[in-house]
Amino acid sequence: MTTTRRVFLRSAAGAALAVGVGATLAPPAVAAPAVDNPTSPSRSHMAKVEAAAAKVQPGTRSPNGWLVNTAANKGGSVWTRPVAGTGFGVDVAIGDAETVLVHVIRRFHYEIDTLRPGDVVGFRPPGSIKHGDYEQNHASGTAVDIRPGSYPRGVKGGFLPYQLAVVRDILAECDGVVRWGGDFSVPDESHFQIATAPDDPRLHALVKKLRAWNATPGAGAGVIRDPRDKKRSAAAEKLKRAQT
């Protein structure tokens, strides 16, 4: 299938924006397109990609170290990505953050309760965020709120015991890369966020694991786990102590 220009620009934008904490946004070195490969990115195309990104990325970072965007689907690092098996998409940072957050949403959908369009809030523009703390991570597309109306900020105990066990199991499966708002001093049980910087080895290891699962029938989200399994529950409890 021929890659569309839209998908190409998204992929190129993701590559141009894969920078670590503290790094400045700099043009990537791009070789001149080969004569026999008309799909190679040209310097003019990359210049357009970088110009589009600059319009929506002021250069600031969210508390977890990811680049803040002012809009989604406008050339930056945040795009609407499909959540397989749900019938809807979510605005998140493409690449590693996308892989992790979509996994969290899918497990919630399959194992806690069926989600519908509008149930998950991802990216939020900086100016729309009421609280200047962890909620700023929405502005980089590295946090999602699942049914925020059902689990409002400041309220604890919204999950049934088995549902809470699944939440803990999801967190343990993500090896500490994801934090849950239910563990915050002011609880926000709808909130899940990337807890590491973009260059953290734990993030890269988790993404590698999840992508392997996604490519393997009978693995990944959709395969029901038993959070009461002794090994899994022990891992969940250990992480809970570490994150709270």
103 in the same domain as 220:
yes
Q: What is the pLDDT of residue 40?
A: 64
236 in the same domain as 136:
yes
**Residues 144 and 120: beta-carbon distance below 8 Å:** yes
Q: What is the pLDDT of residue 216?
A: 85
Q: Is residue 64 part of a domain?
A: no
Nearest alpha-carbon partner for 168 in 115, 233, 100, 102: 233
- Angstrom distance (rounded) from CA 109 to CA 104: 9
pLDDT per position as a tens digit, 60-75: 999 999 999 999 999 9
Q: What is the pLDDT of residue 131?
A: 79
Give the contacts of 7 (CB within 8 A, at least 6 positions apart): none
Residues of the chain with pLDDT under 70: 1-40
Q: What is the pLDDT of residue 20?
A: 40
85 in the same domain as 42:
no
DSSP letter (8 states) at residue 142 = -
How many separate domains does the chain show? 2
How much is the pTM?
A: 0.79
218 in the same domain as 139:
yes
pLDDT per position as a tens digit, 203-235: 999 999 999 999 888 777 877 777 888 888 888
Most distant CA atoms of the chain, gap in Å: 62
Host domain of residue 210: 78-243
88 in the same domain as 43:
no
Q: What is the pLDDT of residue 154?
A: 95
